[in-house]
């Protein structure tokens, strides 16, 4: 099971089996979807636990020839950067399959698309071939559109579907152009990321060309991650999406853009990256502050979560913009934490929508009395969203802010405001409006999550958030060494690497350097 091909293809094979079954086997579809994603989850967990943080290079590597004429190969592997992301993706995929109980219509097609999406996402994060990386992403992206279009909700579903389709396709295609340009400019005749890295370390692309290719990747990936001002598709799209699609997209698929920036754009185009990082830092303020303020005005719970999810992406961008080990490590942590958080938030809101039939917050109130479990989960998710210590978001955001302090002070100060004040305002207000106060008569009969099966996805996501929040070293130990090489490739000024502002309590590599070696028991 510690086999990346198994992890990626378990959902895809399940989708294939479902496709061959007759249309009426609804229970079996659901079981197959659960089995496929659970298999991936177990595989991803074992890979995560058996991952050797001290080793360099790829682990669990798998390679096969695909299109030799173009230098495209099937190449999967994990290193510290993606091992956590794959685990997060597998957790969210399983949770998404769990909450799909709400789907009543056309279950066969639904589960096929959901599993395609899950397999595509995991494949994208495991790929070490640029073409394969893009290929898997598209494989996951297109089912998203159909899921929203067919099983979406709300009056503006059609509009939201078309907007998200056109916006994200545009972003993906700009990325594709950027990746092809990168491949051609490198002149290695190979899409293999390791070979490209090795080649470009010796013969970098000319600065002028880098400054052209990097923005293609920055804005292409940026559109996919909802970088301000290209974020407008996100809140509307998520509010119209069925729960599982919103969870998988906002939680995992969206991180593809950030991952691409860290994995491909920054290390392979260092000059371009340095040239554009200040722009990115300013744009991410748009995410944190503007979208945070927009979230404050929302009356629809899903729109609030959607906007806050866009706002959180600002921190991830800020970490990348800092081009420092701490900042980028923080970004990866934010990616994982936010993936779990977004999935949890959308799962809760989906559950509420199923029970209440509405997500207008001013129609709710006092629900905590009726739904103590769901309410507690939601309150904890909201706290995680404000960056409360104990949840994985806190170390992530803290590292980002520490990392960006030395490069973008003004931005960091403003971002801290966004994180502490703006987020706290809208999150706490939502908690008050939805869960406290008198219960309206119409909700008197509401019931909480009835059994363990219903509670499982929430508990799983929350547990992961808490585990990584209380013990971020599980991730940072793995992430930091890889990020260090990436930042070195990006040629960040050494001052940042060894700056005194580096907090050693989260950065194990630094800790190892400065502290005496621990005595082995």
Partner 1 sequence: MSHLNAIGLEIAVLATGLALLLLDLWAKPGQRRQLAYGAVLALGAIFVASFAVSAPEPRLAFGGLYVLDELALFFKRFFLLAAVIVLVTEIEFAERLDAGSSEYHALTLFALVGMMFAASANDFALLFVALELVTVTFYVLVSYQRRRTPSLEAGVKYLILGALSSAFLVYGIALVFGVSGTMNFLHLTASPPEILQSPLLAIGLLLVLVGLGFKVAAVPFQIWAPDVCQGAPLPTTAFLAVGSKATGIVLLLRVLFVAAPAVTARWNHALLVVAALTILYGVLCAIPQRSLKRLMAYSSIANAGYLLIGVCVGNTEGVAAMLFYLGGYLFAVLAVFLVATLAWRGTDADEIPGLAGLCQRSPFLAGGLTLAMMSLAGVPPLAGFFGKFLLLKAAILGGATHPGLYWLAGLTIVAVVISLYYYFGVIRAVYWGENPADVSPLAVSWPARAVLGLCLFGMLWLGLFPANVLNLAQIAAAAIKF
What are the φ and ψ backbone dihedral angles of 60, each rounded to 5 degrees?
50, 35
Minimum distance, C-beta of residue 166 to partner 1, in the bound complex (Å): 6
Please tell me whether residue 165 binds partner 1 under the rule CB under 8 A.
yes
* Number of C-beta neighbours around residue 514 at 10 A: 10
Please tell me whether residue 142 binds partner 1 under the rule CB under 8 A.
yes
Please tell me whether residue 135 binds partner 1 under the rule CB under 8 A.
yes
Between 160 and 301, whose beta carbon lies closer to partner 1? Answer: 160
Stretch that binds partner 1, among 136-144, 223-231, 268-276, 479-487 (CB under 8 A): 136-144
Minimum distance, C-beta of residue 67 to partner 1, in the bound complex (Å): 5
Contacts of 325 (CB under 8 A, 6+ apart): 403, 480, 483, 484, 487, 496, 497, 502, 507, 509
Between 48 and 221, whose beta carbon lies closer to partner 1? Answer: 221
Number of shown-chain residues binding partner 1 (CB under 8 A): 29
Which of 166, 421, 471, 515 binds partner 1 (CB under 8 A)? It is 166
Binding to partner 1 in span 100-119, by CB under 8 A: 109
In this structure, are residues 508 and 476 in contact, taking their beta carbons and an 8 Å threshold? yes
Between 227 and 337, whose beta carbon lies closer to partner 1? Answer: 227
Between 62 and 488, whose beta carbon lies closer to partner 1? Answer: 62
Minimum distance, C-beta of residue 410 to partner 1, in the bound complex (Å): 35
Between 72 and 87, whose beta carbon lies closer to partner 1? Answer: 72
Residue 478's DSSP bridge partners are none
Please tell me the distance from the alpha carbon of residue 420 to that of residue 415, in angstroms, as a whole number: 9
Please tell me whether residue 176 binds partner 1 under the rule CB under 8 A.
yes
Exposure on the CB side of residue 469, measured as CA atoms within 13 A: 24
Between 67 and 515, whose beta carbon lies closer to partner 1? Answer: 67
Minimum distance, C-beta of residue 227 to partner 1, in the bound complex (Å): 18
Please tell me whether residue 177 binds partner 1 under the rule CB under 8 A.
yes
Stretch that binds partner 1, among 142-150, 245-253, 306-314, 476-484 (CB under 8 A): 142-150
Please tell me the distance from the alpha carbon of residue 186 to that of residue 200, in angstroms, as a whole number: 7
Helix (H) / strand (E) containing 74: strand 72-78
Binding characters for partner 1, 179-198, by CB under 8 A (x = yes): -xx-xx--------------
Output b/e per residue, 63-82; b: 16+ Cβ within 10 A: eeebeeeebbbbbbbbbbbb
Report helix, strand or coil for 64: strand
Please tell me the distance from the alpha carbon of residue 300 to that of residue 296, in angstroms, as a whole number: 11
Please tell me whether residue 169 binds partner 1 under the rule CB under 8 A.
yes
Torsion, CA 133, CA 235, CA 293, CA 313, rounded to 10? -10
Q: Cα(first)–Cα(last) distance of the chain, in Å? A: 32
Please tell me the distance from the alpha carbon of residue 371 to that of residue 394, in angstroms, as a whole number: 27
Binding to partner 1 in span 215-244, by CB under 8 A: none
In this structure, are residues 243 and 347 in contact, taking their beta carbons and an 8 Å threshold? yes
Minimum distance, C-beta of residue 60 to partner 1, in the bound complex (Å): 23
Binding to partner 1 in span 62-81, by CB under 8 A: 66-70
The one-character DSSP state at 515 is: S
Stretch that binds partner 1, among 146-154, 429-437, 466-474, 500-508 (CB under 8 A): 146-154
Contacts of 218 (CB under 8 A, 6+ apart): 261, 265, 276, 280
Which of 86, 98, 103, 146 binds partner 1 (CB under 8 A)? It is 146
Binding residues (CB under 8 A) for partner 1: these are 23, 66-70, 109, 131, 135, 138-139, 142, 145-146, 149-150, 162, 165-166, 169-170, 173-174, 176-177, 180-181, 183-184
């Amino acid at each position: 099971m510690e086999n990346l091909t198994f992890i990626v293809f378990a959902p895809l094979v399940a989708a294939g089996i479902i496709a061959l079954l007759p249309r009426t086997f609804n229970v079996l579809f659901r079981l197959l979807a659960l089995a496929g994603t659970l298999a991936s989850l177990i595989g991803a967990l074992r890979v995560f636990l058996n991952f050797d943080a001290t080793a360099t290079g790829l682990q669990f590597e798998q390679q096969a020839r695909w299109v030799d004429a173009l230098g495209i190969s099937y190449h999967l592997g994990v290193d510290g950067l993606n091992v956590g992301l794959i685990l997060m993706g597998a957790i969210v995929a399983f949770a998404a399959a769990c909450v799909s109980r709400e789907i009543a219509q056309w279950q066969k097609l639904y589960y096929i698309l959901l599993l395609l999406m899950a397999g595509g996402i995991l494949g994208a994060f495991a790929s070490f071939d640029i073409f394969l990386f893009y290929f898997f992403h598209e494989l996951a992206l297109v089912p998203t559109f159909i899921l929203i279009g067919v099983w979406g909700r709300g009056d503006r579903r059609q509009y939201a579907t078309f907007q998200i389709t056109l916006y994200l396709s545009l972003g993906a295609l700009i990325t594709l152009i950027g990746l092809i340009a990168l491949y051609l400019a490198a002149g290695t005749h190979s899409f293999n990321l390791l070979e490209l890295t090795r080649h470009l370390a010796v013969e970098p692309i000319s600065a002028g060309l880098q400054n052209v290719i990097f923005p293609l990747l920055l804005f292409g990936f940026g559109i996919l991650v909802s970088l301000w001002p290209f974020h407008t598709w996100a809140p509307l799209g998520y509010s119209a999406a069925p729960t599982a699609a919103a969870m998988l997209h906002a939680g995992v698929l969206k991180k593809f853009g950030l991952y691409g920036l860290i994995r491909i754009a920054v290390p392979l185009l260092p000059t371009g990256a340095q040239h554009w990082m200040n722009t990115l830092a300013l744009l991410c303020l748009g995410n944190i502050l503007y979208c945070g303020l927009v979230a404050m005005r929302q009356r629809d719970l899903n729109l609030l979560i959607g906007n806050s999810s866009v706002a959180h992406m600002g921190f991830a961008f800020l970490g990348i913009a800092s081009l420092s080990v701490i900042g980028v490590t923080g970004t990866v942590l934010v990616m994982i934490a936010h993936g779990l958080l977004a999935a949890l938030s959308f799962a809760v809101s989906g559950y509420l929508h199923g029970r209440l039939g509405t997500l207008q917050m001013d129609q709710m109130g006092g629900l905590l009395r009726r739904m103590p479990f769901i309410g507690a989960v939601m309150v904890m998710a909201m706290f995680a969203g404000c960056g409360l210590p104990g949840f994985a978001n806190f170390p992530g955001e803290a590292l980002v802010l520490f990392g960006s302090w030395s490069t973008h002070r003004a931005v960091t100060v403003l971002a801290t405001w966004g994180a502490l004040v703006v987020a706290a305002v809208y999150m706490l207000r939502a908690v008050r409006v939805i869960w406290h106060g008198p219960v309206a008569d119409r909700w008197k009969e509401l019931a909480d999550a009835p059994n363990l099966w219903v509670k499982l996805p929430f508990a799983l996501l929350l547990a992961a958030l808490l585990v990584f929040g209380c013990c971020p070293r599980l991730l940072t130990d793995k992430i930091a060494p890889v990020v260090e090489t990436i930042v070195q490739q990006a040629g960040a000024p050494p001052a940042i690497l060894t700056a005194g502002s580096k907090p050693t309590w989260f950065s194990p590599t630094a800790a190892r350097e400065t502290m005496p070696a621990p005595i082995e028991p």
